[in-house]
Amino acid sequence: MAKCAICGKAPVFGRSIQHKHGGGWARRAPKTNRMFKPNIQKTTLTLEGGVTAQIKACTRCIHTLQKAR
Protein backbone atom coordinates (compact mmCIF):
# COMPACT_ATOMS: atom_id res chain seq x y z
CA MET A 1 0.00 0.00 0.00
CA ALA A 2 1.01 3.60 -0.53
CA LYS A 3 2.66 5.37 2.39
CA CYS A 4 3.88 8.96 2.79
CA ALA A 5 7.68 9.17 2.89
CA ILE A 6 7.59 12.27 5.12
CA CYS A 7 4.92 11.74 7.78
CA GLY A 8 4.29 7.99 7.38
CA LYS A 9 0.56 8.35 6.75
CA ALA A 10 -0.87 5.03 5.49
CA PRO A 11 -4.34 3.57 4.84
CA VAL A 12 -6.54 2.96 7.88
CA PHE A 13 -9.62 0.76 8.18
CA GLY A 14 -13.02 1.81 9.43
CA ARG A 15 -16.70 1.06 8.98
CA SER A 16 -19.43 2.57 6.80
CA ILE A 17 -22.94 2.90 8.17
CA GLN A 18 -26.06 3.04 6.00
CA HIS A 19 -28.13 5.72 7.71
CA LYS A 20 -31.34 4.93 5.84
CA HIS A 21 -31.96 1.89 8.08
CA GLY A 22 -32.17 3.60 11.44
CA GLY A 23 -34.57 2.74 14.20
CA GLY A 24 -34.73 0.42 17.14
CA TRP A 25 -32.41 -2.32 18.26
CA ALA A 26 -34.07 -4.92 16.00
CA ARG A 27 -33.50 -2.83 12.85
CA ARG A 28 -29.94 -1.59 13.32
CA ALA A 29 -28.16 0.11 10.44
CA PRO A 30 -25.90 -2.37 8.60
CA LYS A 31 -22.17 -1.70 8.86
CA THR A 32 -19.61 -2.65 6.22
CA ASN A 33 -15.82 -2.49 6.39
CA ARG A 34 -14.05 0.13 4.29
CA MET A 35 -10.61 1.67 3.86
CA PHE A 36 -9.62 5.34 4.22
CA LYS A 37 -6.76 5.93 1.77
CA PRO A 38 -4.38 8.93 1.98
CA ASN A 39 -3.93 11.09 -1.11
CA ILE A 40 -0.37 10.06 -2.10
CA GLN A 41 1.32 11.85 -5.01
CA LYS A 42 4.76 11.61 -6.61
CA THR A 43 6.68 14.84 -6.22
CA THR A 44 10.20 16.05 -6.88
CA LEU A 45 11.95 17.42 -3.83
CA THR A 46 15.16 19.45 -3.83
CA LEU A 47 17.40 18.42 -0.95
CA GLU A 48 20.39 20.21 0.53
CA GLY A 49 23.31 20.46 -1.87
CA GLY A 50 21.07 20.81 -4.92
CA VAL A 51 20.27 17.11 -5.15
CA THR A 52 16.76 16.30 -6.40
CA ALA A 53 14.83 13.22 -5.37
CA GLN A 54 11.44 11.89 -6.40
CA ILE A 55 9.35 10.78 -3.41
CA LYS A 56 5.79 9.74 -2.66
CA ALA A 57 4.21 12.19 -0.23
CA CYS A 58 0.69 13.00 0.91
CA THR A 59 -0.84 16.24 -0.30
CA ARG A 60 -0.75 17.73 3.22
CA CYS A 61 3.04 17.33 3.36
CA ILE A 62 3.45 18.72 -0.18
CA HIS A 63 1.39 21.77 0.79
CA THR A 64 3.40 22.30 3.98
CA LEU A 65 6.71 22.01 2.11
CA GLN A 66 5.58 24.62 -0.43
CA LYS A 67 4.60 27.02 2.35
CA ALA A 68 8.01 26.61 4.04
CA ARG A 69 9.88 27.82 0.96
Residue 5 lies in a domain: no
pTM greater than 0.85 (yes/no): no
Residue 30 lies in a domain: yes
Residue 1 lies in a domain: no
Residue 54 lies in a domain: yes
How many domains, in total, are found in the chain? Answer: 1
12-17 and 40-46: which strand pairing? unpaired
Please compute the mean of the pLDDT values over residues 63-69 and round it to a whole number. 89
DSSP of the chain: ----TTT----EEEEEE-GGG-SSGGGPPPEEEEEE---EEEEEEE-TTS-EEEEEEEHHHHHHHHHH-
Residue 2 lies in a domain: no
State which residues form the domain around 39. 12-68
The whole-number pLDDT of residue 22 equals: 60
Residue 4 lies in a domain: no
pLDDT, tens only, 15-48: 988 776 666 666 677 788 999 999 999 999 888 8
Residue 3 lies in a domain: no
